[in-house]
Structure 1
C-alpha cells in the first residue's frame, strides 16, 4: 500500500537537512521517496495526505525504558505480584502509549525472563501494532544486587557467561549489566558503589561480543564508570559521576575525554516531568545534573536520550517532555535535540535504516501540527504516526485537511 504525505516542511533527520513544501512517499513498510512536494507527487500512485501547516520528521527513539513497570508509585510491588500474562499485556499497552506519542523505537533495559522480547517478536510478526523494540532481558547483577528481581543474578565468571548465553538465546538485542548499585533496590549496594570489578566487566563485554551483542552499563558512581569504560562497554546509563561514599560528584576530565575518544554513548535517562523531579531531588541536585551534561558535552561525549520509563512519574506518553529537558534546562537547540532523538540515537544504538527519512529506510514517520524548531511544544501535537508504514493513533479528522 502506498501512502503520500505532504507537509509545509520535512525534517529529513540529520540536523540542518530541511525540505520546505516537502513530501514523503511510503510503500508498505519502506520509504521510497523524499523531496520537494511536486517531485514526489509525480512519482506517487496514491492520493496525498496533506498537512500544509505541519512538519514531518522521523519517528522518535527512546533509549532507556522498562516496559514491565507502570510508572506509578508502588510500581515495583505491582510488578512483583503480577504474573507473566499480566505483564505481557502491560508491556504491549505501554509500548503503544509511547507509539501514539511519536516514539517509533524503544530500547528496554531490564525485564523478567525476556517478556519484552516476546512482545517485540509479536510486533515484528504483525500480530499487534507497536514500535520497534530492542530489549536486554534480565540485567546482570550480583546476588541481591540492583534489580535482582528480574532474574539476572550472577556470581562468578561461569555464571556471567551463562547468563549472557541465556539472554542471547532469549533473543536479546543488548546485554545490560548493573555496574553500580541502585537506589530503588534496598538490598543492593548504594548507587555510588561498584557491583562488579574491572575483570568481571571485561568478561561481560568479551562474552557479549561472542554473540555480537553490545553492552549497556548502569553506572552511577565514578569508580563504576571508570571500570565500565576500561572494559569497553557501548553505552553508559545514567553516568552521574557520584563520588565514593556518596558525597558529591567526582568529575574526571581524563575519563570524559576517554568516553568521547572511544565513542561510548551516554544515556542520561532523565524523566519527562524533569521540573517536578527537580523539586523532589532538590534544585541543587538538578542544577548539578545539568552541569554534568554540559561538562561531558565539552569533551565531545555523544548522548542518546532516554527516560528510564516505568519508574514513578516517568510515563511513556510524554517523550516530548523528556526531550524538552535538553532544550529548556541544558540549553541545546531544538534542531540538535531532534537530531539526537532520531538520526543520532539510531547511530548510537547500531540501527540501520532507522532515524531518518530517506529512500530505503523504514517508514517510521511523525507528522506534527506546527514547527518544532520554532516551537518545541509542537512535538506534543501529533497528527500522524507511522510505525513501519502502519498508521496509529491519530484522530480520523486529522488525516486530511
Structure 2
C-alpha cells in the first residue's frame, strides 16, 4: 500500500526541519520527500500532517521490557512466574509502541522472556517495538542486578557468560561495571566487574559483531569499562574530566537515563520504594545532573534511554526523557536527535532507522504541535497521534 504524509512539518532527524513537505511510503520503506507541490497518485492513501510534526520512529536505547515499574521491580520479577512476566512484558511492549517508540534496546531480561517477546513481535503475534535484546546482564557474584543476572567472576567466567548470551540470541551484551541503586547492599559508586573481566567479555561480543553496554555509575568502574572497549556508558553518575575526554576521543556514547532517578526522587518512600534505594538515589542525583551537563558541554554523544521498568518509570511514558534531556542542558533539537539519529547509531542501525530518508524503514510518528518550540509537549502521554512501524500504521 502507498501512503503519503502530506503538506506539513517534517523533522528529518539530522538537524533539518522541512516545512510543507510530503513524505512517501511504499512497501515498508520511505520512498521520497517532496515539497507542497508533490504529485500524489490516486491509489495513495493520504494523511494530512496539519499542525502536527512528523518524526522518525523514536528509539529508546535502555529499557527493561519485563520489569513492571513497581516500587521494587527486581524483587517483583524474581517473585513471579515466567508466564506472568511474559504477559506483563507483552503489555509493556504494546504501550511502548503506542508511545511512538518503534525500536528499543533491552538491557537485561529474565529467563529469556525478552528474547521470546522479540520473536513474538517479529512474527506479528503481538504488537511492540523492534527489540534488540541482551538476554541476561553479566555481573560479579552478588553484584548489582544479581537476582536477574548471570553471575561471573574472573575473565574466563565472564568470557563464558558473554558467549552464553550470544548463543541465546542476544543482540548486544551488557556488563555491570559498578554497584547501583536498585540492589540492596551495594554502593552505586563502587567498582564491580574489573578491566580484565570486561575486556574478556567485550572481546567475545566484538568478535561476532555485537555491541556492548555497561551499567556504570562510579568513576573507577566507568574508566575500567572504557579501557576495556565498551561501546556505551549507561547512567554515568560520576564522570571525571579524564572520563569525558576519553569518551569524546573514542566516540563512546552516554545514555544518562535521567527518568530513572527522577521518578525515584519524585515518588520516594511514600510510593513504596525501599528506603535504601531512595537514600542512594538522593545521594547520587546531584552528581548525575552535574555530569550530564559537563559531558554535553564537552561534546560527548548523548542518546535517549529511559531505564523504563524501574520504579514508576512507566513503559509508554518513554518520551518524557526528551524534555528531561533538554532540562539538563541539551537544546530541543539535540534532545530530539538523541532520541532519533544519535540513538540509531547506539543500536547500530543508522542505515535503517533514525532519520526520514529515502530507502530507510518507514518508522514514522506524528506528534501534535511543534516540540522544537515547546519540548514539554512530550511530557504528555497523548502527544503522539499516529505511529507507523515498517510501513504499517499501528496507532491512529
Q: Could you say whether these structures have the same fold, taking a TM-score greater than 0.5 normalized by the shorter chain as the test?
A: yes
The 1-side partners of 2:310 and 2:392 are apart by: 29
Match of 2:130 among 129, 132, 136: 132
Matched, 1:388 2:383: no
Matched, 1:71 2:73: no
CA RMSD of aligned residues (A): 2.1
Equivalent position of 1:303 in the other structure: 302
User: Unaligned 5+ residue runs, structure 2?
Assistant: 269-277
Note the alpha carbon deviations across 1:157-207, whole angstroms, 9 max, x for none.
3322221111111111110000111222225x4211111221111111111
Please report how far the alpha carbon of residue 293 of structure 1 lies from its aligned counterpart in structure 2 after TM superposition: 0.9
Matched, 1:212 2:209: yes
Alignment of 1:305-320 (within 5 A): 305-320=304-319
The 2-side partners of 1:279 and 1:153 are apart by: 31
Measured at CA, do residues 183 and 272 of structure 1 come closer, stay the same or move farther in structure 2, by a change above 3 Å?
Answer: closer
The 1-side partners of 2:174 and 2:100 are apart by: 25
Equivalent position of 1:111 in the other structure: 109
Tell me if structure 1 keeps the 8 A contact 2:177–2:225.
Answer: yes
Matched, 1:170 2:165: no
Measured at CA, do residues 44 and 262 of structure 1 come closer, stay the same or move farther in structure 2, by a change above 3 Å?
Answer: farther
Q: Return 273-282 or 152-161, whichever deviates more.
A: 273-282
Q: Give 4+ residue runs of structure 1 displaced > 6 Å after superposition.
A: 281-284
Equivalent position of 1:3 in the other structure: 3
The 1-side partners of 2:218 and 2:261 are apart by: 24
Tell me if structure 1 keeps the 8 A contact 2:174–2:213.
Answer: yes
Measured at CA, do residues 170 and 38 of structure 1 come closer, stay the same or move farther in structure 2, by a change above 3 Å?
Answer: farther
Equivalent position of 2:252 in the other structure: 264
TM-score (norm 2): 0.90
SS of 2:180 mapped into structure 1? coil
Measured at CA, do residues 98 and 7 of structure 1 come closer, stay the same or move farther in structure 2, by a change above 3 Å?
Answer: farther
The 2-side partners of 1:279 and 1:148 are apart by: 25
The 2-side partners of 1:110 and 1:283 are apart by: 24
The 2-side partners of 1:389 and 1:18 are apart by: 22
Tell me if structure 2 keeps the 8 A contact 1:179–1:224.
Answer: yes
Equivalent position of 2:275 in the other structure: none
Equivalent position of 1:343 in the other structure: 341
Matched, 1:234 2:231: yes
SS of 1:47 mapped into structure 2? strand
Alignment of 1:43-122 (within 5 A): 45-122=43-120
Please report how far the alpha carbon of residue 346 of structure 1 lies from its aligned counterpart in structure 2 after TM superposition: 0.3
Count residues with an aligned counterpart. 381
TM-score (norm 1): 0.89
SS of 1:324 mapped into structure 2? helix
